[in-house]
Chains A and B, each alone.
Chain A
Amino acid sequence: MKARFTITALVALLILCAGYAALFIAPDEATMHAIQRIFYFHVASWNAMFCAFFVAFYASVAYLVTGKRKWDALGVSGVEVGVLCCTIGLITGPLWARPVWGIWWTWDAKLTSTFILWLLFIAYLLLRGLVEDPEKKASLSAVFAIFASLDIPLVYLANRLWRTQHPQPVIAGGQGSGLDPTMSKVLLLCLLAVFCVMILVLIDRYRLELLRHDCAELKFEIESRGLDASEGAATPALQKGGQ
């Protein structure tokens, strides 16, 4: 508990440092000026999303190979956190686009493939809610997550393969790409801050999923003894304050 508090405090400090660096230390970009500073959190949220979806992909493959429930728990946790990071990217992107492009959104290859990715993983979460049998739910989810992950390379490569309204990559983007050294350091700090937050959230989401598995097993045991698992449970109304 103490270790967790220390880690959370360190990550909070990292967030403050990253925020300060992005807003006050990073130099103004020549054409976009201050609004370009959204870049530091926009890119960091996409980076966190790629990592979370990679965790989900790896866990889904591992579940199909081993059949262990812990991989299913990690898979759904990765997807939920990935969707969260994707949502942040889809909100911060238009907030950057509006003052720079004059429009909130355009259906170019990069933005469209990203939106499809978001929809695919939302569908994954909805699918899990529709299937009752735990084994079937885990298997179907793993297959669906692997299928949805096929869109990830497309999202990453879209502005490298096609001409898009979305800017060309500034990191590893070939000739003419690159960042000012101070901007690079600030970006690294922001990438690290958002990545650490994503990992903390992912760990907590994974713990929740393991607890849910324990809960489901207990319910199954009670029901197999011919008892009522909902006996003594607070009703939704009571949980909301006893009204």
Chain B
Amino acid sequence: MKNFEFLFTAWMVVWAVFFAYELSIARRITQTREEIERLKQQLQQR
């Protein structure tokens, strides 16, 4: 297939970008939840 490398790269870019972004959101959600838990504990202790 002619120009297959361009087609393959474009197809990969679409899903790789979405996947990487979703992973980054999941990581940020986990970090923020941990932070909220820590702050709640701090409030309860005082």
Report which A residues bind B (CB closer than 8 A).
15, 19, 22-23, 33-35, 37-38, 41-42, 45, 84, 87-88, 91-92, 95-96, 98-99, 194, 197, 200-201, 204-205, 207-208, 211-212, 214-215, 218-219, 221-222, 225, 227, 229, 231-233, 239
- Count residues of chain B with CB under 8 A from any CB of chain A: 32
Q: With A98-B6, A208-B29 as known contacts, state yes or no: A201 contacts B39, CB within 8 Å.
A: no
Q: Are A34 and B40 neighbours in the complex by a CB distance under 8 Å?
A: no
Beyond the given A34-B4, A37-B7, A233-B38, please list 5 additional residue pairs across the A-B interface where CB-CB is below 8 A. Answer: A33-B2, A34-B3, A88-B17, A218-B36, A227-B42
Q: With A37-B7, A204-B25, A215-B32 as known contacts, state yes or no: A91 contacts B39, CB within 8 Å.
A: no
Report which B residues bind A (CB closer than 8 A).
1-4, 6-7, 9-11, 13-15, 17-18, 21-22, 25-26, 28-29, 31-33, 35-36, 38-43, 46
Q: Are A41 and B3 neighbours in the complex by a CB distance under 8 Å?
A: no
Give 5 A-B contacts (CB < 8 Å), ordered by A residue: A15-B15, A38-B6, A91-B13, A96-B10, A222-B43
User: A207 to B33, alpha carbons, bound, how many Å?
Assistant: 11
User: A239 to B17, alpha carbons, bound, how many Å?
Assistant: 25
User: A23 to B14, alpha carbons, bound, how many Å?
Assistant: 14
- Residues in A neighbouring B35, C-beta threshold 8 A: 215, 233
Q: Are A215 and B36 neighbours in the complex by a CB distance under 8 Å?
A: yes
Q: Are A35 and B32 neighbours in the complex by a CB distance under 8 Å?
A: no
User: A122 to B36, alpha carbons, bound, how many Å?
Assistant: 28
Contact with B22, one of A23, A204, A211 (Cβ below 8 angstroms): A204
- Residues in A neighbouring B33, C-beta threshold 8 A: 211
Q: Are A222 and B42 neighbours in the complex by a CB distance under 8 Å?
A: yes
Residue among B11, B18, B26, B32 having the largest count of chain A Cβ atoms under 10 Å: B18
User: A233 to B36, alpha carbons, bound, how many Å?
Assistant: 11
- Residues in A neighbouring B7, C-beta threshold 8 A: 23, 34-35, 37-38
Q: Are B17 and A35 neighbours in the complex by a CB distance under 8 Å?
A: no
Q: With A19-B11, A221-B43, A232-B42 as known contacts, state yes or no: A208 contacts B2, CB within 8 Å.
A: no
Q: Are A215 and B10 neighbours in the complex by a CB distance under 8 Å?
A: no
The residue of chain A having its C-beta at the shortest distance from the C-beta of B17 within the complex is A88
- Residues in A neighbouring B21, C-beta threshold 8 A: 84, 201
Q: Are A214 and B36 neighbours in the complex by a CB distance under 8 Å?
A: yes
Residue among B6, B7, B10, B29 having the largest count of chain A Cβ atoms under 10 Å: B10
User: A84 to B15, alpha carbons, bound, how many Å?
Assistant: 11
- Residues in A neighbouring B29, C-beta threshold 8 A: 204, 207-208, 211
Q: Are A201 and B25 neighbours in the complex by a CB distance under 8 Å?
A: yes
- Residues in A neighbouring B4, C-beta threshold 8 A: 34
User: A22 to B41, alpha carbons, bound, how many Å?
Assistant: 52
